[in-house]
Structure 1
Amino acid sequence: MSEFEFSRRLRLLKPAEFKRVFDHTELRGSTPHMLVLASANGQDHPRIGFVLAKKQIKHAVQRNRVKRLVRESFRLHQHQLPAADFVILARSGITELDNQQIREMIDALWFRLKRPTHGRAPNGKRKKRR
């Protein structure tokens, strides 16, 4: 069961790690309630970090619920995700969703982010067809 662990090595811990993802975003996925930014990390495993502002999610209970649901989904999908650092940003209105809706939303985002980038240049922009 240890292949589905969520150890310290799978987390973004330092401000510099978050800054690198914000400054050099290579992949991005979004919904009206959540934004996921990703940047290759040069390691053999993905890592995750959260930015859940009090301005967007007022109560700690709600912030913790969102983090718990996203962490659990990440733990289950970590072996299919690319070796990248993922930063999860919550948008207002996410607290209106129930647990199942949040799970489905983050699972759909993981699916989009692990898809191969066919027809895209390395910078993420579409290649021109001739």
Structure 2
Amino acid sequence: MKALTFPKSSRLLKPSDYGKVFDDVQIRVPHRNFLILATPNTLGHARIGLVFSKKNLKLAVQRNRVKRRIRETFRHQPDFPALDIVVLGRRGLADLDNATLNVTVMELWSRLRKKNRQLQIPSTSEQSGTGKGTG
């Protein structure tokens, strides 16, 4: 069984890492309480960064709880695509209990996977489609 850890290699650590995602957003997964931005990376594994402001979650206890839940659900994702992901919090997060938060975040991860697959499919079909009918 795979050890369920959350190493530094799975995190966006530097401002430049976050900047790459914000400057080159290729996948957006909106939700009433979250916004997920992602861009492919060349590392072969996913990395995550979390952005939660005091404006949306007043107390540090609330911010830390939400971040813990998101990290935990991310950690349990098997074979996540090679993406750099930034999760931004929106208003209303403090009202969600842990069970609702987990369900919401798991749904967002599945939507992110689906959008990533859709992003990959057109690039391969366009290349194969250009060779047909030319000759």
CA distance in 2, matches of 1:4, 1:26: 28
Deviation at 1:30, TM superposition (A): 1.6
Structure with the higher fraction of residues in helix conformation: 2
Measured in 1, the distance between the counterparts of 2:15 and 2:120 equals: 33
Report the secondary structure of 2:16's partner residue: helix
If the length of structure 1 is used for normalisation, what is the TM-score? 0.87
Per the TM alignment, residue 51 of structure 1 is displaced from its structure 2 partner at its CA by 0.6
Residue 48 of structure 2 is matched in structure 1 by 48
Q: In 2, distance between residues paired with 1:119 and 1:55? A: 36
- How many residues in Structure 1 have an aligned counterpart in Structure 2? 121
8 Å Cα contact 1:36-1:86 kept in structure 2:
yes
Could you tell me how far apart the structure 2 residues matched to 1:96 and 1:59 are? 12
Match of 1:49, as an amino acid? G
TM-superposed CA distance for 1:118, in Å, is 7.1
Bigger radius of gyration:
2
Q: Offset of 1:45 from its aligned partner?
A: 0.6
Of 28-37 and 110-119, deviating more is: 110-119
Mapping for residues 76-91 of structure 1, pairs under 5 Å: 76-77=76-77, 79-91=78-90
Partner Cα distance (1:47, 1:84) in 2: 6
List 4+ stretches of structure 1 deviating above 2 A: 1-4, 118-122
| AA in 2 matched with 1:48 | I
RMSD: 1.7
- How far residue 80 of structure 1 moved from its aligned partner, in angstroms, is 3.0
In structure 1, the gaps of 5 or more residues are 123-130
